[in-house]
Amino acid sequence: MNHTFTLGKALMLSLTLTTALQSCQTDGKSGSGQPDLLQANLDTTVNPGDDFFTYANGGWLKKHPIPASESSWSIGKEVQNEIYARLRAINEEAASAKAAAGSNQQKIGDFWATGMDSVTANKQGIAPIKPELDRIAAMRTPQDVQAEIARLRPLGVSALIGTYVGQDAKNSDKMALQLWQDGLGMPNRDYYFNKDARTSNIRKEYVQHLTNMFKLSGQDAATAAANSARVMQLETALAKSSRKLEDLRDPYANYNKMSVAELGKLTPGIEWKSLLAQMELRKADTVIVGQPEFYQTAGKLLTSSSIEDWKAYLHWHLLHAYAEVLSKPIDDEHFRFYGAVLQGKKEQRARWKRVLDNEEAAMGEMLGQLFVKEYFKPATKERYEKMVQNVTASFREHIQQLDWMSDSTKQKALAKLGKITPKVGYPDKWKDYSSLTIDRSSYAQNMMRANQWQYRYNISKLGKPVDRTEWEMTPQTYNAYYNPSNNEIVLPAAIFAIPGLRDEDADDAVVYGYGGASTIGHELTHGFDDQGSQFDEKGNLRNWWSKKDRAAFEKRVNSIVRQFNGYQVLDSLRINGKATAGENIADLGGIVIGLDAFKKTEQYKKGEKIGGLTPTQRYFLGYALGWQSHQRDEVLAQRILTDVHSPAKYRVNGPMADVPEFYEAFGVKPTNALYRPDSARVTIW
């Protein structure tokens, strides 16, 4: 499974799943005596050759309707609920303890106390951000606007200038200043231009949302309406110069290195030297610009748009950034648009869960230290490190056996695979939060200080050696990723869980499908997908392929792009095969690599049935288990436009249609809906 994790929106990373050990029962029950999990999830009214996703998960979906507070429900949400309960216990204990000032427990307890204190938040209203709103209202010149943008960036406000420090894609040993397109209030550029009825309605609702938020911050109706029009006009101009989702996946097109002086000539209207100094980036002399055309437009707008336009724009983005931690009317209106309109949620999630989400963003590794100490033992870490070794060995064999790649390029691919660093469970070294101040003054102020801490932590890396031990996810995150610049796969502790099934009760077939395929194999394959394959074993953006081999690879990539372009998901919306290519390649790669690793286990060799299912059937069902998920139409439509992952149903049915062993395991015939003739099946890794 995967999601996209971003740091400054630079890295296209991904997600995963995993679990357990061997237990070969033949009576349809697990080692604990409970009914077999896979059997319990089946919908046997569906032919697996027509819709394997529903066949595998239909029973579970019927028993797990989407809660009113959610836009979707999934096995990941079930795991997350267990994590929430554990984190809540940690927080409540910290809040009631008389912890030493400055200790991690004191900071966790105070953050929780202010987050749960809705009475004080309602009394304070917009007071916590009023000084910043007053600064915006006092702007008089374009220089004032740029100074305020610089001031807001450390506060976590995404307003026009998207700076961050990250590894240089062509020199992974160096940390470089990066610029990425930024500053839109809707999910991406397509929301400003698509003409379908669904998106057109969202645009109307967005304008109304802007008006409502301006009114809630104290403006009269006429002023609020005028300011919402100003924001929409500015954001539409920025959106026009923003790149599309699929274009953001080209690492060469999004790598434009230049001096700060050259950037200034390219983008007249932005005083970069002064702006970067105000953003505490005085040392920067070069910058890697992702989308130069975006900043050319930004520079023009800074001089051509009125100060009143920029006052409205910055007022809105500051209010938007802190809406969830201010008073209830503001929080409710924020939910109405971003939760109900965009995602179809019927009601707000419980406050305590949303506080935990913000705490995760603010100081996640602080929680992580306590989480793994209590819930992820060293023996568990060792177990999954061994599985990584087994799946990596299988991938090595796949590369050696490729019939479309020359021996010279194979050797380079094998060298890259051998250099991939696996990180399992939790980091060996934790972040130091000693300089972060958290107290009981206000929820919003705690978030402000946390945002400033995160910003300064990031920019402090400029000019320093790359810390390759660092994690970009916390141990309690139900997610994982491949980082091309570090050539590493990172698998947090929380991903190693199946709700209702203990590790010792899970047979190898489930383990290798759920964890080996959709997690480990998936992440390893990201090093060799359409994007990751452009980075070498040291994590540098460099072509290590022969021209002929690259062409053969691209031919296979184009085949999977065409396959997924053909899936119509909702209304007139189809999967964007080019934007989702990396994830679709990784899904297919994970399945075939994980399967061959599973074939080396005793369970596969014995061939005994569990719950009436063969080992191979259980393997494929184990993979599908990781994609137990359904969502409201609103969020499905949003993901089609903004997500580099295909919807869960197609992450099961899509790759299965390309795997010969799936046809054999479930007797798939030419008359079945998933059937693809041999010539149409995609094979890559």
pLDDT digits (tens, 9 = 90+) for 350-391: 999 999 999 999 999 999 998 888 777 787 788 889 999 999
Instruction: Tell whether 493 is covered by a domain.
Output: yes
Q: What is the pLDDT of residue 378?
A: 80
Q: Is 447 exposed, middle or buried (0-12, 13-18, 19+ CB in 10 A)?
A: buried
In this prediction, residues 612-620 reach a mean pLDDT of 97
Q: Is the pLDDT of residue 31 over 80?
A: no
Instruction: Tell whether 272 is covered by a domain.
Output: yes
CB 133 within 8 A of CB 145: no
Number of domains in the chain: 2
With a CB cutoff of 8 Å and minimum separation 6, the contacts of 265 are none
In terms of residue numbers, what domain contains 144? 139-198+222-322
In this prediction, residues 195-202 reach a mean pLDDT of 96
Q: What is the pLDDT of residue 33?
A: 56
In this prediction, residues 61-80 reach a mean pLDDT of 96
Q: What is the pLDDT of residue 376?
A: 79
Q: What is the DSSP track for 627-639?
A: T-EEE-HHHHHHH
Q: What is the pLDDT of residue 218?
A: 96
Q: Please, which pLDDT band fits residue 539 given cuts at 50, 70 and 90? A: very high
Same domain, 584 and 673: yes
Q: What is the pLDDT of residue 2?
A: 45
Q: What is the pLDDT of residue 384?
A: 86
Instruction: Tell whether 84 is covered by a domain.
Output: no
Q: Is the pLDDT of residue 478 over 60?
A: yes
The average confidence (pLDDT) of the chain is 93
Q: What is the pLDDT of residue 36?
A: 92
Q: Is the pLDDT of residue 445 over 70?
A: yes
CB 469 within 8 A of CB 427: yes
Q: Is the pLDDT of residue 21 over 60?
A: no
Q: Is the pLDDT of residue 12 over 60?
A: no
Q: Please, which pLDDT band fits residue 594 given cuts at 50, 70 and 90? A: very high
In this prediction, residues 93-121 reach a mean pLDDT of 96
Q: Is the pLDDT of residue 684 over 70?
A: yes
Spatial separation of the C-alpha atoms in residues 232 and 331, rounded to whole Å = 21
Q: Taking CA 417 as the corner, what is the angle to CA 414 and CA 419, rounded to the nearest 5 degrees?
A: 110
Instruction: Tell whether 11 is covered by a domain.
Output: no
Last residue of a domain, one of 306, 322, 338: 322
Q: Is the pLDDT of residue 609 over 80?
A: yes
Q: Please, which pLDDT band fits residue 1 given cuts at 50, 70 and 90? A: very low
What are the φ/ψ torsions at residue 129 (nearest 5 degrees)? -110, 5
Q: Which of 255, 257, 287 is nearest to 273 (CA)?
A: 287
Q: What is the pLDDT of residue 496?
A: 80
The amino acid at residue 589 is G
Per residue in 135-183, pLDDT (tens digit) is: 999 999 999 999 999 999 999 999 999 999 999 999 999 999 999 999 9
Instruction: Tell whether 155 is covered by a domain.
Output: yes
Q: What is the CATH number of the domain that holds 382?
A: 3.40.390.10
Per residue in 506-519, pLDDT (tens digit) is: 899 999 999 999 99
Can you say how many angstroms the Cα of residue 43 is from the centroid of all Cα atoms in its chain? 30
Q: Is the pLDDT of residue 345 over 70?
A: yes
Last residue of a domain, one of 283, 302, 322: 322
Same domain, 175 and 300: yes
The residue written with tokens 């590493």 in the block is 488
Q: Looking at 253-257, 353-357, 570-574, 679-683, which range is the least confident one?
A: 570-574
In this prediction, residues 537-565 reach a mean pLDDT of 98
Instruction: Tell whether 236 is covered by a domain.
Output: yes
In this prediction, residues 490-508 reach a mean pLDDT of 88
In percent, the amount of the chain with pLDDT more than 70 equals 95
Q: What is the pLDDT of residue 34?
A: 67
Per residue in 201-219, pLDDT (tens digit) is: 999 999 999 999 999 999 9
Q: Please, which pLDDT band fits residue 29 given cuts at 50, 70 and 90? A: very low
Last residue of a domain, one of 304, 322, 340: 322
Same domain, 381 and 318: no
Same domain, 589 and 494: yes
Same domain, 285 and 395: no
Helix locations, 490-630, DSSP H: 508-511, 522-526, 547-565, 581-598, 602-606, 615-625
